[in-house]
Homo-oligomer: A and B are copies of this chain.
Amino acid sequence: MVRDLSAEEKIKAAAKKLFTQKGFAATRTRDIAEEAGINLALLNYYFRSKSKLFELVMYENLSLFIGVIVENLKNSPNSFDNQLDFIVDKYIDMLLENPDLPFFVLNLLQSGHFEIEHKDNPVFKGITELRNSFLETILNDMEQGKVKKMHPLHIIANMMGLIIFPFIASKVLMSRSGNISRKEFEDLMRERKKLIPEWVRAMMQV
């Protein structure tokens, strides 16, 4: 139960939680209302419809996913090495605070509720900007012989996979069969803030 907020904020927080955990279709407006501790009718009063509420949560989540990084990348030195440390650190911090976020993004990709292609979509622009900035520095470093030549997609996919995948798999890891606690998991993730940049550098010199 979400407390000490306006009704509108309580609904938004509850919606964010449930949409992120269960996806659009499996989340009922009744559950959101109950989680928020308000009446069902109030949800429609503030947000007009389930879809509108979902879109709002979606934009806030995705902005979280890329916002910090896009903004700060502009101010960071233009070498892959520096950007690497920075991105890994920020992403892992963000995921430790929002561990379900990857699931939300994955839900989006399936649901069709989000036209990621739309040119003037600010999130789309952010992703494109992030990708281009990164590609540029990577290609630049390859040109200078600093790193082994390979398709830059490998590098981006590897880095993102090393960062994000453990959070996706966390439910298996922390299950009875996985046999580690939430605290152990979080400690391991923090440990990865140092390890991932080392690993990525090692991979790029094979």
Contact = CB atoms under 8 A, between A and B. Distances in A.
A168 B199 contact: no
Interface of A: 21-26, 103, 106-107, 109-111, 116-117, 124, 127-128, 131, 150-151, 153-154, 157-158, 160-162, 164-166, 168-169, 171-173, 175-177, 180, 188, 191-192, 195, 198-199, 202-203, 205-206
19 contacts: A22-B25, A22-B110, A23-B23, A26-B26, A26-B111, A103-B110, A107-B110, A109-B171, A117-B175, A128-B177, A131-B177, A151-B188, A157-B169, A158-B199, A161-B162, A161-B164, A161-B169, A198-B206, A203-B203
A120 B195 CA distance: 37
A164 B24 CA distance: 24
Contacts of A25: 22-23, 25-26
